[in-house]
């Protein structure tokens, strides 16, 4: 009797959604069921995006918030490369890798779409070319390098007062979790580092947060957003509500209220879009996201599943759709994996059901805001919760130890102001400066992991 053919599962994407799908498949698939699980990802690591702003603020070493995927899985194999085409009728995926773009075809019985999203610049003039983003490890390092670079240039004797003010102006667009945590981290970093620059003073520093809504941190209770705004304002951050970025030029950042801010650094956190690879698929799409049923299946395409940022997942609790957050993605990954196991065993899949238990944000200097199971916290208690929960969620014991040590040393040591070496062309220079020399590393969008 010939052995049964292995079940071929191809997972596109190595973020929270893809990795948790693979890990749960390894746990749930019976050992006697032959399986070939392949993860396709651009990088050989998973990035812990909620801590990106801490890398930008020099609180954490850049390698401490990434984990090698090969050490997180046992039965699954990793293909480091790019997805070139997805052929649903032919049940195959075309991928390529290496400098010469060598191609492979991966046939599948089950395909998991966990491709995440990309930054959306909404066609605003000059924004793509001149703004930094906060979605990848390279973005965080580029922002850190940029902040050090402007400090170095502003400290020159020949820099006039007006030029110094322009150099030391940082504008962050987007008042959600990513924008608020980024502006808080940048503000703390610059004001701490400026002590090492004898010709500079804190009154030269200008941090601006631009948000189109009526309150920052709209994902949380309005009172927490108001508290965060008061704390940031007290620490020198200007907050402009009901305001959008209209464009970016060498002169500065044009805003929707008609003013122009002569900022040398702009960080864009105000928009994401699903992966463009999904646009040509012959399945249901809604604003670029794959439409799935309650069990995370793509209708009319047996064996095709989608989750995370790139999927529109019905929320049975609210009757709406699940938000594209990390805590939903990792829970979806576990549910999807169990449904694949059920399909392999000839059983019916189960609907995905999950309610957000809480969300947290760090706003710098041992201060945070949090909503846990309907209860609001702010101040030191929320900051302590933020660090405790995210440390627990960080994959790998060795990474937990390294991050805990970094945080401990950060309590007693000054922030490091060494610019990291260049590694290649940048993903978008900010206004008036040479591009930060570090190649982008695409990854999942930054969001709050929560307490699930």
Do 233 and 193 share a structural domain? yes
Spell out the residues 6+ positions from residue 158 whose beta carbon is closer than 8 angstroms to its own: none
DSSP of 327-378, one letter per residue? Answer: HHHHHHHHHHHHHHHHHHTT-----------EEEEE-STT-EEEEETTEEEE
**Residue 14 domain-assigned (yes or no):** yes
Please state the separation of Cα 279 from the chain's center in Å.
Answer: 21
Q: What is the per-residue pLDDT for 358?
A: 87
**Alpha-carbon gap, residue 43 to 64, rounded angstroms:** 16
Do 381 and 299 share a structural domain? no
The C-alpha angle 268, 332, 5, rounded to 5 degrees, equals 120
Spell out the residues 6+ positions from residue 133 whose beta carbon is closer than 8 angstroms to its own: 119, 139, 267, 268, 269, 427, 428
pLDDT in tens, 49-78: 999 999 999 999 999 999 999 999 999 999
Q: Residues 64-84, buried b or exposed e (16+ Cβ, 10 A)?
A: bbbbebeebbeebebbbbbbe
Do 368 and 260 share a structural domain? yes
Do 335 and 222 share a structural domain? no
Spell out the residues 6+ positions from residue 289 whose beta carbon is closer than 8 angstroms to its own: 274, 278, 309, 310, 311, 312
Do 125 and 110 share a structural domain? no
First vs last Cα of the chain: how many Å apart? 46
> For residue 71, what is the domain's CATH number?
3.50.50.60
Do 174 and 69 share a structural domain? no
Q: What is the per-residue pLDDT for 316?
A: 87
**Residue 437 domain-assigned (yes or no):** no
Q: What is the per-residue pLDDT for 428?
A: 39
- Phi, psi (degrees; rounded to nearest 5) at 88: -65, -45
Do 198 and 141 share a structural domain? yes
How distant, in Å, are the alpha carbons of 141, 295, 440 from that of 423? 11, 42, 10
| Cβ–Cβ < 8 Å for 236, 229 | no
Q: What is the per-residue pLDDT for 157?
A: 65
Q: What is the per-residue pLDDT for 163?
A: 86
Provide the β-strand partners of residue 207. Answer: 170, 237
Structure tokens at 140: 């965080």
Do 217 and 83 share a structural domain? no
Share of the chain above pLDDT 90, in %: 78
3-state class of 401 per DSSP? helix
Task: Provide the number of structural domains found in the chain.
Answer: 2
DSSP of 57-103, one letter per residue? Answer: TTSS-GGGGEEEGGGT-SS-EEEESEEEEEETTTTEEEEEETTTTEE
Residue whose entry in the numeric block shows the structure tokens 């760090």: 362
Do 126 and 83 share a structural domain? no
Do 187 and 159 share a structural domain? yes
Q: What is the per-residue pLDDT for 357?
A: 79
Provide the β-strand partners of residue 173. Answer: 210, 268
| Cβ–Cβ < 8 Å for 28, 131 | no
> For residue 231, what is the domain's CATH number?
3.50.50.100
Do 125 and 256 share a structural domain? yes
In the chain, which residues have pLDDT < 70?
A: 1-3, 157, 159, 422-452
pLDDT in tens, 295-324: 999 999 999 999 999 999 999 888 899 988
- Nearest to residue 296, comparing CAs of 36, 17, 54? 17
Tell me the residue range of the domain where 314 lies.
Answer: 7-118+273-344
**Residue 430 domain-assigned (yes or no):** no
pTM (predicted TM-score): 0.89
Q: What is the per-residue pLDDT for 3?
A: 64
Do 315 and 220 share a structural domain? no
Please state the separation of Cα 84 from the chain's center in Å.
Answer: 23
**Residue 415 domain-assigned (yes or no):** no
Count CB atoms within 10 A of the CB of residue 164.
20
Structure tokens at 88: 């649903």
| Cβ–Cβ < 8 Å for 272, 280 | no
């Amino acid at each position: 009797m010939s052995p049964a053919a292995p079940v071929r599962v191809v997972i596109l994407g190595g973020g929270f959604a893809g990795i948790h799908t693979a890990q749960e498949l390894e746990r749930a698939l019976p050992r006697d069921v032959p399986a070939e699980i392949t993860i396709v990802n651009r990088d050989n690591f998973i990035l812990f995006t909620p801590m990106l702003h801490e890398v930008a603020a020099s609180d954490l070493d850049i390698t401490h918030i990434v984990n090698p995927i090969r050490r997180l899985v046992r039965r699954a194999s990793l293909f480091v490369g790019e997805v070139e085409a997805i052929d649903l009728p032919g049940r195959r995926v075309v991928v390529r890798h290496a400098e010469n773009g060598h191609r492979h075809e991966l046939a599948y019985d089950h395909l998991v779409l966990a491709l995440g999203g990309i930054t959306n610049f909404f066609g605003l003039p000059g924004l793509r070319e001149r703004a930094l983003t906060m979605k990848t490890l390279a973005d965080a390092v580029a922002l850190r390098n940029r902040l050090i670079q402007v400090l170095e240039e502003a400290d020159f004797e020949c820099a006039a007062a007006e030029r110094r003010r322009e150099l030391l102006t940082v504008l962050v667009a987007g008042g959600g979790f990513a924008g608020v945590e980024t502006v808080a981290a940048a503000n703390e970093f610059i004001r701490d580092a400026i002590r090492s620059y004898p010709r500079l003073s804190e009154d030269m520093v200008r941090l601006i947060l631009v948000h189109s809504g009526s309150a920052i941190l709209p994902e949380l209770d309005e009172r927490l957003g108001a508290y965060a705004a008061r704390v940031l304002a007290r620490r020198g951050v200007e907050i402009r509500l009901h305001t959008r970025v209209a464009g970016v030029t060498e002169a500065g950042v044009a805003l929707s209220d008609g003013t122009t801010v002569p900022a040398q650094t702009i960080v864009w956190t105000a928009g994401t879009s699903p992966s463009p690879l999904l646009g040509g698929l012959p399945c249901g799409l809604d604003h670029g996201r794959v439409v799935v049923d309650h069990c995370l299946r793509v209708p009319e395409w047996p064996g095709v599943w989608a989750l995370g940022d790139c999927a529109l997942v019905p929320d049975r609790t609210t009757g709406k759709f699940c938000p594209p957050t990390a805590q939903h993605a990792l829970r979806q990954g576990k549910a999807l994996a169990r449904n694949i196991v059920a399909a392999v065993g000839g059983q019916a899949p189960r609907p995905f059901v999950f309610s957000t238990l809480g969300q947290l944000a760090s706003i710098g200097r041992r201060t945070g805001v949090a909503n846990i199971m309907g209860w609001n916290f702010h101040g030191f208690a929320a900051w302590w919760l933020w660090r405790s929960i995210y440390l627990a969620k960080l994959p790998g014991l060795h990474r937990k130890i390294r991050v805990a040590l970094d945080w401990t040393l950060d309590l007693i040591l000054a922030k490091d102001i060494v610019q990291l070496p260049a590694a290649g062309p940048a993903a978008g220079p900010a206004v008036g400066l040479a591009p930060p020399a570090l190649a982008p590393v695409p990854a999942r969008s930054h969001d709050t992991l929560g307490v699930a």
